[in-house]
Structure 1
Amino acid sequence: MRARDANLIARLILEGFIDYRQQFKAITRQAPGYFAAADWHALQCLSVERIDRYEEMIDGISEKIVSLSNDGIPKPELWLLIKECYTEVLNQRSDAELGETFYNSIYCKLMQHSNISDRHMFIQSKKPKVEAYRGEQIFRRYALNEGVPSFLKKLFEDYGFSIPWENKRRDSRNLMRYIRNTIPDDVVAGEGTVIEVIRSVFYRNKAAYIVGRVQFDHQSVPFVLPVLNTEGAGVYIDTALSDENDVSVVFSFTRAYFLVDVDIPAEFIRFLHSLIPMKSIAELYNSLGFYKQGKAEFYRDFMDHLDASTDQFEVAEGTKGMVMTVFTLPSYPVVFKVIKDRFSSSKNITRSGVINKYQLVKRHDRAGRMADTQEFVNLVLPRKRLSAELLCELMSVACSSITLSEDDLTISHLWTERRMIPLNIYLNEMLSKSDEESVYLAINEFGKCIKELAAANIFAGDMLFKNFGVTRHNRVVFYDYDEILYLTDCNFRDIPEPMYPEQELASEPWYSVAEQDVFPEEFKILTACDSRIRIIFNELHGDLLTLSWWINIQQKVASGALLDLYPYRRIVRFPRAP
């Protein structure tokens, strides 16, 4: 009876996974049509639909499993058999790693994140190692023996869209000029030089991306070709990116997930990792929309790192938050964020409100300016690896989220996020070095961050420097989400003139302030820390202090306009003259 039940449940989970993968692909495959129609809002909705669909499928399969059993939720000993049956039928699939994670999600849902062990679930993947590289199934290979013009002609033919190219001759000339300026002649003319291009096109926001690499002498150079739609006149190649850092930014953890058709995920990831080896496997899975698989890969890598390291978790550098307490492991590039038991009196938000804000960010277009996060329940850490200061901090401000045993510390709910240098610390360091150029660039990035979030319908709320971070690419990113609002929900106002001098000197404002009122004049406090910063900010982004700027961008967003926010600098864009 138990064997029959185990097999039945394993089959039910597999059928649910197959159904989910089919739906994921069906949603993704709508992207080319929406891109051709320039229906940018529909493209964004596809990303949200895929995220929601996963949770809907997990809930549905979990309910079916409970209804099948007379005992309700399967007991831990039955899960041993379920996993064994499931492994047998799953390993025949080319996306088995995703199937393992789907199983894990159902197990954690039903078992409420208890009995977490590799015996009951796939903490370590059981997917057989790939015996032979099957990359040819995911990319096209081009030789250059007939010359670059011939290769480009084939490329345009193979990657035709359902709408015509605006001007293929112009785009070909731009690409030939780029190749001549960036790739040595002996590489282009080399007999062994080949170009491999992923068959599937990557769609996100208002752009499509053709992704590939140039292979020569056991080396490779990555490249990305962003394709834009003129919303009527055709498509065109906007630029070419071949620097590894530039390609990495395209796949950044601060951007929405791509819509791209993926049949063999592991091979897809292998190809992408060859382009940007500095990018983790977890982040690459995330970038393709497999964010649960990204979480699984992150956890495995993190556990391996814990086993191989000896340093202690410690309180993260930076100003302590009023809603979250944050800690890190110095040898690992991630921070861990736990909701405090009590918030500062200035914070008008609840615990559930904080959770909702993080869910909003997961589902929203992050515009390259908000860090992606992974949510964990009942994360267990070895107690001996926590510094005394951190343990004291957690027990004093987040005790309700902490369970201590002799050997372990369990955190009931937290988020992980890429570690960055807090902007306030970065600016202080650059000012102390009299590095005026770095200060100038950072303040410019800070203002651009606020503006690009606004264009994506996000008002950051608390815009103090401490809530922003600087990435390894020197981009400024927002990472404190407890006060974010939709821009369209804000009520931007000028501060009314005081009726008499005493009002202006009073400790309390002389005017009424509703919950979603915003006074741009007050943003002057952001740069009050240093006159040098204030001068730069006012020069570059002084419009952020005016009511008119915010009303204007709010009206554009409310009208449905999506501004152009691309993951590369304007200066690298190709000319579009005939």
Structure 2
Amino acid sequence: MVMLAEQIAQDILQSFSDYRAHFHRITAGAKARFELADWGAVQHASTERINLYESMCQDAAEALQRSVGESVHTSDLWLLAKQAYINLIVLRDDFELAETYYNSIYCRLFGHLQLDDQHMFIHSSMAGRIVDSGDEIYRTYYPVRGLQVMISTLLDDVAFDIPWENKRRDIRNIMRHVRNNMADEFNDAESTSIEVVKTVFYRNKGAYIVGRVRTQDKQLPFVLPLLNNEAGGLYVDTLITEENDVSVIFSFTRAYFMADVNVPSEFIRFMQSILPMKSVAELYSSVGFYKQGKAEFYRTFIEHLKNSDDELIVAPGIKGMVMTVFTLPSYPLVFKVIKDSFSSSKYIARSTVIEKYQLVKRHDRVGRMADTMEFTNFSFPRARFSDELIDELQKVAGSSVEIETDRVLIKHLWTERRMTPLNIHINEALANKDEYAVFHAINEFGKCIKQLAAANIFAGDMLFKNFGITRHGRVVFYDYDEIMYLTECNFREIPEALYPEQEMMDEPWYSVGPTDVFPEELHILTRCDRTVRKIFNELHQDLLDVKFWREMQNQVRAGNIMDVFPYRKVKRFLRN
């Protein structure tokens, strides 16, 4: 049995090494794709890299099933396999990723059952180990020869194979921003340094230089977004130096970066030094290690449960027709479970809901859709559930829940960042007569729908309750059971009634196909309040027009990929 266990460990590690090599290949190609302005290839590579993990884990699990046979399900065999695996990865600088990969294969073979720390890595076998590659992951610059020389050197070191559109102008723009916003940090050139991550971060149509400014008593993050003018020229679009703005660039609502990170944990430590509000889970996910992000979340959540005593409760807001949602008030996530049966107005199957969430995982979220983590057989302490939540789960999702004396097992759920539902936010703003908050929310709502459309996503159910507002004031869509590709929609105008009585009927007097969409019906969203209706009509009345949607479809079909910036347009530099 020992030899068989060692063979299992070797086979899993070989599969993991192959995965890392493929992951690196896709990621390393980001520079060439950016330089060629091949935005279609950028989207394809992003999806390919996400799919890579699942496909390679599945292939490895099936290969073990064939080579080991039914013995692969022997519990004692995996006790030995885990120890053999630890011996193989103990010197690896990506050991945490290797452990998570092992977990994924184990779960496939055991159907997400027998999940314990003896057979798999619920907790890391090397928790607390600090990996030092011996090679700094960042370059250090000093402004002792002047700010202009330092910035010029920094930009040269990025070493793109396309020329700068106007490097002198970009340096001038950066210097002006520094003098206007960071003068104190650069008053004493002797005690100030700039540390820049050697790898460039690529996402969508942008490349990002990431680093920090260090003085004697503080350090500040910064990001330099670079864009390709699609005529063979490179330019600096802006300089982001506020921590909140940098945090938004690494948001859970955006696609994962392509960043060639050789030693993941070393990189995460650096990023946490400049973004202390970001969790380790978020930072791993932000550079494409989303399974590691999931593992880190689970560990921190277990630890949080040990150090807190509040109850899991039904999430505030209007209850969904497809999902039941609960949360732990002291933790910034919600848990979503598919109901056993849906409202009569929802003509979808459980499998369709799952497909929709998988679609979002693989699609460009353009800062407007929340990332999710999917779990099977998630175990909670029974004592942490409120009676109301237990009743709710048994009533609407009984087939997905097993309730025992000391635990509650949810067979299938998703986690998602908790946000204030937009309907609650708007109602509170109206009650407080906060006109700016209402204006901002409605404007963000319209921009959210438009940016999703530009990314080939039609949100479907656009009621305010299906959107949330983040701590940074961005409106995000989070209810995915009715989303579809924009190009699959059939946008129609409502035909005129033949006689007045038709308009009074409960059912439409015209035929409605499964992909038919009538933009005029969106005015129902604003019936709730005159102020909301007025603001919506001023800012986004084009959403009620079939022409807008058909034009969006034409742009998507033509392969036009809209610029969606992870920072406000007002922050962009002038290019004159």
With the shorter chain as reference, the TM-score category is: over 0.9
- Asked if the contact 1:423/1:470 (under 8 Å) is kept, the reply is yes
Equivalence for 1:554: 553
Amino acid at match of 1:284: L
Q: Which moved more, 1:129-138 or 1:100-109?
A: 129-138
Equivalence for 1:322: 321
- After TM superposition, list the pairs within 5 Å mapping 1:290-329 onto structure 2: 290-329=289-328
- Asked if the contact 2:133/2:263 (under 8 Å) is kept, the reply is no
Q: Which secondary structure does the structure 2 equivalent of 1:212 belong to?
A: strand
CA distance in 2, matches of 1:132, 1:23: 23
Q: What is the percentage of aligned positions where both structures have the same residue?
A: 58
Q: Which secondary structure does the structure 2 equivalent of 1:222 belong to?
A: strand
- Asked if the contact 1:357/1:484 (under 8 Å) is kept, the reply is yes
Is structure 2 residue 487 aligned with structure 1 residue 500? no
Equivalence for 1:75: 74
Amino acid at match of 1:51: I
Provide closer, same or farther for how the CA distance between residues 312 and 247 of structure 1 changes in structure 2, counting only shifts above 3 A: same
Provide closer, same or farther for how the CA distance between residues 457 and 131 of structure 1 changes in structure 2, counting only shifts above 3 A: closer
CA distance in 2, matches of 1:390, 1:193: 54
- Asked if the contact 1:124/1:300 (under 8 Å) is kept, the reply is yes
* Cα offsets for 1:478-527 (capped at 9, x unmatched): 00000001000000010000111111111111110001100010000011
Shift of 1:542: 0.8
Amino acid at match of 1:249: V
- After TM superposition, list the pairs within 5 Å mapping 1:536-547 onto structure 2: 536-547=535-546
- After TM superposition, list the pairs within 5 Å mapping 1:169-568 onto structure 2: 169-185=168-184, 187-568=186-567
* Cα offsets for 1:153-176 (capped at 9, x unmatched): 211210121111111100000000
- Asked if the contact 2:35/2:232 (under 8 Å) is kept, the reply is no
* Cα offsets for 1:445-499 (capped at 9, x unmatched): 0000000000000000000000000100010000000000100000001000011
- Asked if the contact 1:253/1:372 (under 8 Å) is kept, the reply is yes
Q: Which secondary structure does the structure 2 equivalent of 1:415 belong to?
A: strand
CA distance in 1, matches of 2:199, 2:465: 40
Shift of 1:72: 4.0
Please report the TM-score for the alignment, with normalisation by the length of structure 1. 0.98
Q: Which secondary structure does the structure 1 equivalent of 2:145 belong to?
A: coil
CA distance in 2, matches of 1:359, 1:132: 33
- Asked if the contact 2:318/2:465 (under 8 Å) is kept, the reply is yes
Q: Which moved more, 1:479-488 or 1:209-218?
A: 209-218
Provide closer, same or farther for how the CA distance between residues 387 and 42 of structure 1 changes in structure 2, counting only shifts above 3 A: same
Q: Which secondary structure does the structure 1 equivalent of 2:7 belong to?
A: helix
Amino acid at match of 1:32: K
CA distance in 2, matches of 1:290, 1:416: 17
- Asked if the contact 1:35/1:206 (under 8 Å) is kept, the reply is yes
CA distance in 1, matches of 2:289, 2:130: 24
CA distance in 2, matches of 1:162, 1:462: 45
Shift of 1:116: 0.7
CA distance in 2, matches of 1:52, 1:156: 34
Equivalence for 1:3: 2
Shift of 1:236: 0.2
- Asked if the contact 1:144/1:188 (under 8 Å) is kept, the reply is no
Amino acid at match of 1:53: L
CA distance in 1, matches of 2:495, 2:122: 59
Shift of 1:126: 1.4
Shift of 1:218: 3.8
Equivalence for 1:576: 575
The two structures, once aligned, show a CA RMSD in angstroms of 1.1
Unaligned runs of 5+ in 1: none
CA distance in 1, matches of 2:296, 2:191: 35
Shift of 1:74: 3.4
Shift of 1:403: 0.8
Amino acid at match of 2:322: V
Shift of 1:184: 2.4
* Cα offsets for 1:311-356 (capped at 9, x unmatched): 0000000100000000000000000000000000100100000000
CA distance in 1, matches of 2:134, 2:445: 41
Shift of 1:152: 1.1
* Cα offsets for 1:513-549 (capped at 9, x unmatched): 0011000100000111000000000001111111111
CA distance in 1, matches of 2:386, 2:155: 57
Amino acid at match of 1:180: R
Equivalence for 1:59: 58
- Asked if the contact 1:254/1:369 (under 8 Å) is kept, the reply is yes
CA distance in 1, matches of 2:121, 2:186: 44
Equivalence for 1:15: 14
CA distance in 2, matches of 1:362, 1:131: 31
Equivalence for 2:142: 143
Provide closer, same or farther for how the CA distance between residues 186 and 223 of structure 1 changes in structure 2, counting only shifts above 3 A: closer
Provide closer, same or farther for how the CA distance between residues 238 and 397 of structure 1 changes in structure 2, counting only shifts above 3 A: same
CA distance in 2, matches of 1:210, 1:267: 17
CA distance in 1, matches of 2:159, 2:212: 19
Amino acid at match of 2:472: H
Equivalence for 1:113: 112
Amino acid at match of 1:462: D
Provide closer, same or farther for how the CA distance between residues 136 and 188 of structure 1 changes in structure 2, counting only shifts above 3 A: farther
Shift of 1:136: 5.0
Shift of 1:134: 5.0
- Asked if the contact 1:145/1:189 (under 8 Å) is kept, the reply is no
Provide closer, same or farther for how the CA distance between residues 39 and 131 of structure 1 changes in structure 2, counting only shifts above 3 A: closer
Shift of 1:280: 1.0
Q: Which secondary structure does the structure 1 equivalent of 2:72 belong to?
A: coil
* Cα offsets for 1:278-298 (capped at 9, x unmatched): 111111111100000000000
Shift of 1:402: 0.6
Shift of 1:399: 0.2
Amino acid at match of 1:425: I
Q: Which moved more, 1:50-59 or 1:71-80?
A: 71-80
Shift of 1:192: 2.0
* Cα offsets for 1:543-574 (capped at 9, x unmatched): 11111111111111111100110101111100
- Asked if the contact 1:58/1:106 (under 8 Å) is kept, the reply is yes
CA distance in 1, matches of 2:418, 2:369: 13
Q: Which moved more, 1:545-554 or 1:318-327?
A: 545-554
CA distance in 1, matches of 2:401, 2:442: 38
CA distance in 1, matches of 2:478, 2:329: 19
Q: Which secondary structure does the structure 2 equivalent of 1:71 belong to?
A: helix
Shift of 1:70: 4.2
Q: Which secondary structure does the structure 2 equivalent of 1:511 belong to?
A: coil
Unaligned runs of 5+ in 2: none
Amino acid at match of 1:299: Y
Provide closer, same or farther for how the CA distance between residues 243 and 134 of structure 1 changes in structure 2, counting only shifts above 3 A: farther
